[in-house]
Homo-oligomer: A and B are copies of this chain.
Amino acid sequence: MSNPILKNVPYLRVCDDTFFDTLNAGAQQKSYKKGQILFLHEDEATRFYFIVSGWVKLFRETQDGVQSVVNILNAGNIFGETSIFENDLYPYSAEVVEPAEIISYSLNDLKKEIEKNNKLALSMLSAMAKYRREQDAEIEHRSIQNASQRIGCFLLRLVEQDAEGPIKIELPYDKILVASRLGMQPETFSRALAKLRDKTGIRVQGSTIEVDNLDQLNSFSCEACSSEFPCKDLNYAKK
């Protein structure tokens, strides 16, 4: 394949085309409808996945069905690849939440490459470190930010942080999903968004949100955060 789509994944950029050829030889592309399950937590892992379009939710759940959302990803992201360090078991379940085109590749091919290509191992290490930082921030947010502040923080991370003047922010997916991503109930999300609106003067119209000035959100959301500028570098998947 002349245009290895996986080069869109930042940390795979260091790989050469021979490797992508190998991966592509065993690649499978499929279309998925909303609600389809790609794999379940602790399933035997043989493939990893690249999202061409659509949205995928990564989550875990208890026996009685309470879910904990690990992440929600869109085009350009891969997932399931860390299974090679997890005894070849998926560390979470994956469900399509918006109609998606997804390509899967052999985990074995990836594993072999990592074992012999130190550059790849290193850039994967950096990616893991970044993820680690994001998780730390997530834990911090959940414990010291309230619901409204978490929403404000979420919005801030959806936009370019040097943007100025009035901005339109579009929620990337259902409010219910956003709520689960932020670890709150839909009802709480609804009320907390209204509170955020009243406190900061943002305008909410369905899934579109208008902000006159990002500083409004900053000062409200980020007073309860350890990062200087609100969680710089820590972005959610953008639309």
Residues of chain A having any CB pair with chain B under 8 Å: 41-42, 60-64, 66, 68, 70, 82, 85-86, 91-92, 114-116, 118, 121-122, 124-126, 128-133, 135-136, 138-140, 142-144, 183, 223-226, 228
**19 additional contacts (CB under 8 A) given A92-B136, A115-B122:** A62-B144, A62-B223, A62-B225, A63-B223, A64-B223, A66-B144, A68-B140, A70-B139, A85-B126, A85-B130, A86-B133, A91-B136, A116-B118, A118-B118, A121-B122, A125-B125, A132-B135, A138-B139, A142-B143
A126 to B87, CA, bound (A): 10
- A69 CB, min distance to chain B CBs, angstroms: 9
A70 to B138, CA, bound (A): 11
A129/B61 contact (C-beta < 8 A), A115-B118, A139-B68 known: no
B144 pairs with A142, CB closer than 8 A: no
A41 pairs with B126, CB closer than 8 A: no
* Interface SS, A side: helix
A132 pairs with B226, CB closer than 8 A: no
Contacts of A66 in B (CB 8 A): 144, 224
- Considering the complex, give the chain B residue whose CB is closest to the CB of A141: B68
Most B CB contacts (10 A, CB to CB) among A60, A138, A143, A226 go to A226
Contacts of A224 in B (CB 8 A): 62, 66
B132 pairs with A139, CB closer than 8 A: no
Complex A-B: 10 CB contacts under 8 Å: A42-B228, A61-B226, A62-B226, A68-B143, A70-B136, A70-B139, A82-B132, A91-B136, A131-B132, A135-B139
A70 to B135, CA, bound (A): 10
Contacts of A114 in B (CB 8 A): 122, 125
A85 pairs with B139, CB closer than 8 A: no
Contacts of A138 in B (CB 8 A): 139
